[in-house]
Amino acid sequence: SYSQRVPPGTKRMPGPFPLPLIGNTLSLSKNPHLSLTKMSEVYGDVLQIQIGTKPVLVLSGLETIREALIKQGEVFMGRPDLFTFRLIGDGQSLTFSQDSGEVWKARRRLAHNALKTFAIAPSLTYSSTSLVEEHICREADYLVRKFQQLIEEQGEFDPYRYVVVSVANVICAMCFGRRYNHDDQNFLDIVNLTDEFGAAAASGNPADFIPILQYLPSRAMNRFVDINKKFMNFIQKIVHEHYQTYDKNAVRDITDSLIQHSQERKVDENSNVQLSDKQIINIVNDLFGAGFDTVTTALSWSLTYLVVNPKIQDKIQNELDQVIGRERRPKLSDRSQLPYTEAFILEMFRHSSFLPFTIPHCTTSDTVLNGCFIPKGICVLINQWQVNHDPKLWKDPFKFSPERFLNEDGLSLNKTEMEKALIFGLGKRRCVGEAIGRAEVFLFLTTMLQQMQFSIQDVEKLDMSPQYGLTMKLKRHHVTARLRFSMMATQ
């Protein structure tokens, strides 16, 4: 409890005084990343609050977070036992479940290997590209054509509605070897569940910390259960089809490769743990689930920054014209020649910090951080937003300025600056899809910007305040676009 003694030589974690029953829940406000940033200015990088009746450790400051997630990686790699997390993926999610032991490690390795084989591996169809690149190029082409059609028919359109399908199709291609049409209602129903999912799974949801809320009937909670069921049903149907058509000599996608793994080698060669079929196959739920909402959100923030800052859009397009021209499409290997575009993407990640906290962590043993005693099993929030707006790390942190990531010459990226931006987490729980996520954002964005110019009417009326959640989103808005030139599907 709050008044607990701490071992000699250590301090008690500082923090605001909690009220009975509700603790400091009220001071979290509608934007916990902002209130907890303010609180860190008073109490420091290591602070304790009480959400409901449960103590929660909040970490801020890049150095402190590095110390915890990297130097003390094993101690801080757990996931807390949260009510909402138990409802995700039958409580067996690689991402959200409480397990962080040998089974989790073996599953995480499987996820890594699956992505290596079905994303990073070279494409057999086109030389010098990877599989993920091939999928993205195909989807980005569809997307540009769809946008073109929408401009002709309606003038304005909501890009999010179409981007989400294209991005989800990329992860579908890798996981399930298939894609869906932009008007497939069944698929649209699934990909549009993420807003509500993100609101419930957000860090600091009172239902996770105030036990009585879990027993009271709640529309929001019933809906969350329903969303997770829908999601599982969608995937289970596809997995079932895979089992029926599985051929061990022709492994088609990540689902097939997981089936193969479960049938051939249940014992992970790097450890002695035995994984159940379900623990293996369910990895595809995590990859599919994590693989499209994040990237879609990144792209919709990108488009918003571009329509608000037309000069920045011009600069990116000039760079694309000079380096790539108009005869061919952008490739991942162009990245090193496109420093301004890369700087824009970094600044979009930093400035939006649309994953304000990582997914909550939890300590696996007692420890000491910055002189404070930290007990085993405490829920830990990592404030990425605070790091990305820390005036000690960034000049004018609230200004949107891609240039901050460039060296003086303007021709290369500044490594030191890049390493300060905290977006994908750090250490043992760091995002497994980082390389793919970054590749998708780069390729979708450059393919769109090479061919289209985006704008918006009434910029002044645009509401740039995000909706708090696991991933923060802007209110959806319409943009318009014009084709810069017409590129035939030649690749």
Q: In angstroms, rounded to a whole number, what is the distance separating the alpha carbons of residues 304 and 150?
A: 18
Stretch that binds ligand HEM, among 180-188, 204-212, 282-290, 399-407 (CB under 6 A): 282-290
312-319: which pairs have CB atoms within 8 A and are 24 or more residues apart? 312/344, 312/402, 313/449, 313/453, 313/454, 315/340, 316/340, 316/341, 316/344, 316/449, 317/449, 317/450, 317/453, 317/484
Is 283 in contact with 94 (CB distance < 8 Å)?
A: yes
Shortest CB 343 distance to ligand HEM, Å: 16
Figure out which of the listed residues 39, 58, 114, 298 binds ligand HEM, where binding follows CB under 6 A: 298
CA distance readout (Å), 413 to 286, 338, 346, 406, 409: 32, 10, 10, 4, 10
Q: In angstroms, rounded to a whole number, what is the distance separating the alpha carbons of residues 474 and 298?
A: 11
Q: Are strands 54-59 and 379-382 parallel, antiparallel or unpaired?
A: parallel
Stretch that binds ligand HEM, among 17-25, 266-274, 293-301, 398-406 (CB under 6 A): 293-301
339 belongs to the binding site for ligand HEM (CB under 6 A): no
255 belongs to the binding site for ligand HEM (CB under 6 A): no
286 belongs to the binding site for ligand HEM (CB under 6 A): yes
Shortest CB 163 distance to ligand HEM, Å: 13
User: Toward ligand HEM, which CB reaches closer, 150 or 350?
Assistant: 350
In the shown chain, the binding pattern of residues 128 to 167 toward ligand HEM, with x for contact by CB under 6 A and - for none, equals: ----------------------------------------
Shortest CB 150 distance to ligand HEM, Å: 25
Figure out which of the listed residues 291, 339, 466, 469 binds ligand HEM, where binding follows CB under 6 A: 291
For ligand HEM, the binding residues in 347-386 under the rule CB under 6 A are 355, 358-359
Is 453 in contact with 312 (CB distance < 8 Å)?
A: no
The whole-angstrom distance between residue 146's C-alpha and the CA centroid of its chain comes to: 25
For ligand HEM, the binding residues in 50-109 under the rule CB under 6 A are 94-95, 108
437 belongs to the binding site for ligand HEM (CB under 6 A): yes
294 belongs to the binding site for ligand HEM (CB under 6 A): yes
137 marked among binding-site residues: no
Q: In angstroms, rounded to a whole number, what is the distance separating the alpha carbons of residues 370 and 11?
A: 9
Q: Per 3-state DSSP, what percentage of the chain is helix, strand, and coil (rounded to 5)?
A: 55, 10, 35
Stretch that binds ligand HEM, among 1-9, 207-215, 252-260, 421-429 (CB under 6 A): 421-429
User: Toward ligand HEM, which CB reaches closer, 45 or 286?
Assistant: 286
- Per the listing, tokens 């923060």 go with 472
Give the number of other CB atoms < 10 A from CB of residue 409: 7
User: Toward ligand HEM, which CB reaches closer, 82 or 441?
Assistant: 441
Buried/exposed code over 214-245 (b: 16+ C-beta within 10 A; e: otherwise): eeeeeeebeebeebbeebeebbeebbeebeee
Figure out which of the listed residues 261, 335, 350, 429 binds ligand HEM, where binding follows CB under 6 A: 429
> What are the binding residues?
431
Residues binding ligand HEM (CB under 6 A): 94-95, 108, 111, 115, 171, 286-287, 290-291, 294-295, 298, 355, 358-359, 423-425, 429-433, 436-437, 441
